[in-house]
Amino acid sequence: MAYSDTKHVAIIGCGTIGRQVALVYGQHNRRVTLYDKNEDVAQDALHWIESQLDQKANQPNHVKITRDLKDAAENAWMVTECIAEDIDAKKQLLNTLSSLCASNIIITTNSSSIRSSVLVEGITAASQRRILNAHYFPPAQGPFVELMSCGQTSPAVIESLTQELREIGRRPVVCRADSTGFIMNRIWAAVKREIMMVLADGAGSPTDIDAMLKQAMQAKYGPCELMDFVGLQTVCDIEEIYLKERTYLPSYALTFFRENYVKSGTGRLRPPSREEDEKQAGHSRLRDRLLGAWDLVECTSVSSSRPGSQQKDHPLGREIGREISGHLIYSEAGYVSAQLRIPGQAEFKSVDYWTATPEEHSQAARRYFAYSGQFYVDDDSEKPAVQHRFTHCIYPNMIGQLERRLVHLETDNGCDILRLTPEEPTITPEGRKIIPELTWRRLPVNNRCV
């Protein structure tokens, strides 16, 4: 199947590589559906992708997650598996996908070391015609995507995918022979293997290795930095696959690497840079300061055309000037809930909510606004911000949307004050441009529940 703007790319496996592949398509406004057996991993991947997308462009975010593999496979034009480099697991997944996917859906494996001709064993010849390797380079290594037939892949499928990759700014390269590892991966594997042996022999350090090779190759990143970026567990899994096929290669370095860097070490070859540390620290501090419950103090707006002007305002329609009350809650688990209301709503005549009159329901809805969903903190230390993903909302048009708010935190007489403002002005029904600001005061801990 060729690319269709009404269908999505399904990414199966949302680890380091899977989320990067999803981002490639998300950055070009392609529909993407994420699936991972671990829902927390999928949710984390979605948050990371959203943080990488340019939210200032006011473009709809077409990336979503699903808990159901069948849902991910259906209505896709292409399904890409990005799970760990485990031959048996990948075989089982590809067999499952070939059963779930319609015959015209392209199925790719992002494996960089396992040839798809091995993975398609047991799959019908007809289904094999739409299966191939498609390995996406990490952003730091360029826009390349290496394609390799499983031995039965239809030339039309390869041509269709090649065209789509070019449309989204990638540079496809077709591997001309069945191979364990793509062209670049085989060369890169030799470099990684030698680095492992240098470290196992105690001949050099990751910092020195990177410094020399970055200078010699005029590269932005050193090989140890790139290995950290891919993930050391993945590096080890890939090397193990090469060693099983090429038994003449030494294996002592892999054993040393697993024991000293993956299992008992920090999981990195190099410590995070000062910039990474500062960003992570700022991210953690801001998130920790947001956690808890907040009470709405006031809702004001500043006219963007008349700086300095300020008036009472709120998001509940045109009822300007009335008092508003509300709560905002950020949970440790990464969820947000907001409730806003205009006080003074008359009680329903009926004791049963569902038997109230349409007019009563209408009035209550006009005086109440609520939503919940996930939140995550933007790691831009210059403009601290929080983003809310709406999964439930009284206004259905906002479900699935992402709202970004600049964060201003201060302390007033020992009490935490939170001010949230949008980056861009809001246009009122009358056509005015305003910048709304909601001011919240931290609520004390409910000791009866602690």
CATH code: domain 183-271 is 1.10.1040.10
Structure confidence by residue, pLDDT tens digits, 336-392: 999 998 888 888 888 888 888 998 888 888 889 999 998 888 755 567 889 898 889
CATH code: domain 8-175 is 3.40.50.720
Structure tokens at 211: 């410094």
Q: Residue 314 has what pLDDT?
A: 41
Which CATH fold topology does 285-442 show?
Lipocalin (2.40.128)
Q: Residue 140 has what pLDDT?
A: 63
pLDDT < 50 regions, the chain = 56-58, 279, 282-283, 306-321
| DSSP letters for 142-204 | -SEEEEEE-SS--HHHHHHHHHHHHHTT-EEEE-SS--SS-HHHHHHHHHHHHHHHHHHTTS-
Q: Residue 62 has what pLDDT?
A: 86
| Cβ atoms 14, 36 nearer than 8 A | yes
Q: Residue 321 has what pLDDT?
A: 39
Q: Residue 318 has what pLDDT?
A: 39
CB atoms within 10 A of CB 207: 13
Q: What's the pTM? A: 0.56
Residue where the block lists tokens 């529909």: 31
CB burial of residue 90 (10 Å; 0-12, 13-18, 19+): buried
Q: Residue 59 has what pLDDT?
A: 52
Q: Name the residue ranges covered by the structural domains of the chain.
A: 8-175, 183-271, 285-442
